């Protein structure tokens, strides 16, 4: 697949083989795993960070194999996930950082263009999430309030 804002065609990436059977080595049971994931998420970690901690600290290759459900819907069901989707929150954080940079360096045109590109990605992604029901129908991106959404 090609990149949106570049003339490059991108590159393929390897994917993790997805076994259909539950591995035998995890010591946590389903309920303990869910409790640990919720505790990590409530500590301020994103769902991908929670998955990394569970993989590295507890030896859990896939939450989905042990619980039968993906991690983000599992956290959303327990009211432990953030209201904003993770990819949208990362883009908002990036825009806030660029805004702070451009306040100090107003003539930095390459970063101004970068900020415009990231803002267009945010608008496209927010449109997608509004259609899917993950964001409220009236949610709009505003540069002035981006810093409030990230915190």
pLDDT tens over the chain, length 151 residues: 467 777 777 777 777 777 778 888 888 889 999 999 999 999 989 999 999 999 999 988 889 988 989 999 999 999 988 888 999 999 999 999 999 999 999 999 999 999 999 999 999 999 999 999 999 999 999 988 888 887 6
Whether 146 and 90 map to the same domain: the answer is yes
The pTM score is 0.82
Cβ atoms 26, 47 nearer than 8 A:
no
CA distances (Å), origin 136, targets 83, 84, 146: 10, 10, 16
Whether 65 and 118 map to the same domain: the answer is no
Whether 104 and 132 map to the same domain: the answer is yes
- Look up the domain containing 57 and give its range: 30-77
Whether 111 and 94 map to the same domain: the answer is yes
- Distance (Å, whole) CA 11 – CA 16: 16
Q: Residue 107 sits in a domain of what CATH number?
A: 1.10.287.10
Whether 117 and 98 map to the same domain: the answer is yes
* Measured CA angle at 48 (ends 43, 49), to 5 deg: 45
- Distance (Å, whole) CA 41 – CA 43: 5
**Count, residues in the chain:** 151
Look at residue 1 and tell me if it is in a domain: no
What pLDDT, on the 0 to 100 scale, is given for residue 91? 94
Whether 94 and 121 map to the same domain: the answer is yes
Domain count, the chain: 2
- Distance (Å, whole) CA 133 – CA 17: 30
What pLDDT, on the 0 to 100 scale, is given for residue 151? 67
Alpha helices in the chain (DSSP H): 30-42, 47-58, 63-67, 71-77, 86-104, 109-132, 146-150
Cβ atoms 86, 48 nearer than 8 A:
yes
């Amino acid at each position: 697949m090609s990149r949106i804002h570049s003339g490059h065609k991108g590159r393929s990436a390897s994917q993790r083989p997805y076994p259909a059977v539950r591995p035998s080595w995890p010591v946590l049971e389903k309920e303990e795993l869910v409790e640990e994931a919720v505790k990590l998420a409530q500590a301020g970690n994103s769902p991908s960070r929670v998955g990394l901690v569970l993989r590295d600290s507890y030896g859990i290759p896939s939450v989905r194999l042990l619980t039968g459900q993906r991690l983000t819907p599992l956290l959303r069901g327990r009211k432990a996930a953030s209201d904003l989707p993770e990819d949208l929150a990362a883009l908002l954080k990036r825009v806030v950082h660029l805004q702070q940079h451009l306040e100090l360096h107003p003539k930095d045109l390459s970063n101004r263009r970068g900020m415009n590109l990231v803002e267009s990605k945010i608008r496209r992604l927010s449109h997608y999430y509004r259609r899917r029901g993950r964001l409220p129908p009236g949610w709009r991106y505003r540069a002035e309030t981006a810093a409030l959404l990230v915190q």
